[in-house]
Structure 1
Amino acid sequence: MFHREGQKIIITTFFIVCAAVLLSQFYIDTVWIRFGLQIIALVLLILILQFFRNPKRKVPKNFDEILAPVDGKVVVIEEVEENEYFKDKRIQVSIFMSPINVHVTRYPVSGSIKYSKYHPGKYLVAWHPKSSTDNERTTVVVRTPKFGDILYRQIAGAMARRIINYAEEGESVQQGDDAGFIKFGSRVDLLLPLDCAVTVKLNQKVVGAKTCIATVVDKDEEAEITY
């Protein structure tokens, strides 16, 4: 199944590829050139289909877990100062998506949308330290019953030129549902409370709506560790 954001591109590419194959068949006599152009056209179509794939994932709702919002690799786990919404310290977990990853953004938690804002910006490579604050991005905050407010940020990369965000302030959302799409390479940051337990490691590959990123810390366990 393919994401709705790719429908126009897929249809356009399909007709271009069909035209290229037919025209080359009738107007190019040199066999190796004809076959070469046809193979390139078909590979282009396969790449477009692969990029816009949207695998269905059944998500058993769990208020005690924050799930990965996207497929990719964990590139940052650190304590940072979040200055847009919380204006305090948070744990940042960043997931980098290569062009071969599924680029659907999914809600990491269930709750209500308290904040949703688009920021125009630059197109630094997604792993650049300043991409979180300088690049084109959207910031979304979901209020949850267990974790309080959870922020995730879709960030454009050097190749990503369009961020799609479906979150609207005031609406209720479900963990794992479609929250948007980022076209052609990017990154998503999660900003989590300091008292949650991060369950992933650097360079770990994660799957959107499947991999647990963080859980609620049991207060009794926290007390045992403290004392």
Structure 2
Amino acid sequence: MKLHKEGKGTLISVIIAIIVISAVSYYFLQNWALLIIVPLLVLYGFILWFFRNPERDIKDQVENVIAPVDGKVVMIKEVEDHEFIKGKCLQISIFMSPLNVHVCRYPVTGEVIYKKYHPGKFLVAWHEKSSELNERTSVAVKTKTNHQVLFRQIAGYVARRIVFYPEIGDAAKAGHEFGFIKFGSRMDVFLPLDIEVKCKIGDITTGGIDVIAKLPQA
């Protein structure tokens, strides 16, 4: 199983803590220490599994908007973005539970033209206002179809660390990794109103694979 690089520090810290706690527990409790050690090993197994980074067969995309993460579509709604688009657009939101793969991928192909980190609150990620109030990152790409697409990583109640790698001027390739969110969160994608939506609320998405919308031709 391939692990994501963002898990290295967490996994090392956790295994050291487990070794110390296990040693102390065995010293004082002998065989009864298994009641502590076994749950700790199960927890470590979950953390190890959380940081999995499965190989995906990523296709070249031009007009298609690809699901940026594994999760569940929880919102498809016309909204007004005041940060970058400065007008009305269509928001598609995908919620990630702690059980999902948390690799974040570009939804479209083009060039990175905007990036910003926003400190904020830690409302539950499915809360509608989390897109505006929570800690988040914003990235915009000018697509090869000459559209501007904005997308956000949003921290949730459990997720407390967002990592994103893009720099302005970078080439963005739909389905390819641009960041990671630790332990449950949400991603929002903001698209032109005349987009052709290819998903519905409740759909389960596979990041980098599933098509959630199609951009109008330039």
2:82 is aligned with 1:87: no
Structure 1 Cα separation of the partners of residues 172 and 162 of structure 2: 19
Deviation at 1:49, TM superposition (A): 0.6
Residue-by-residue CA offset, 1:157-196 (whole Å, 9 max, x unaligned): 1111111111111111222221111112110000011111
Give the Å deviation of 1:14.
Answer: 2.1
Per-residue deviation, residues 60-97 of structure 1 (Å, max 9, x unmatched): 11112110111110000011111111111111000001
| SS in structure 2 of the partner of residue 146 of structure 1 | coil
SS in 2 for 1:17: helix
Identity, in percent, stands at: 47
Q: 1:183 to 1:9 in 2, by over 3 A?
A: same
Task: Give me the CA root mean square deviation.
Answer: 1.6
1:203 shift after superposition: 1.1
Q: How many residues align?
A: 217
Greater Cα radius of gyration, structure 1 or 2: 1
**1:33-44 paired onto structure 2 within 5 Å:** 33-44=32-43
Please report the TM-score for the alignment, with normalisation by the length of structure 2.
0.94
Aligned-partner Cα distance in 2 for 1:23–1:134 = 43
**Gaps in structure 2 of 5+ consecutive residues:** none
State the match for 2:214 in structure 1. 215
Q: Where does 1:143-182 land on structure 2 (aligned, <5 Å)?
A: 143-146=142-145, 148-182=147-181
Match of 2:145, SS state, is coil
Structure 1 equivalent of residue 12 of structure 2: 11
Matches within 5 A, 1:48-59: 48-59=47-58
Task: Please give the residue correspondences for 1:122-133 in structure 2 after superposition, counting only pairs within 5 Å.
Answer: 122-133=121-132
Q: Give the superposition deviation at 1:26.
A: 4.5
Unpaired runs of 5+ in structure 1? 220-227
CA distance in structure 1 between the partners assigned to 2:20 and 2:55 by the alignment: 32
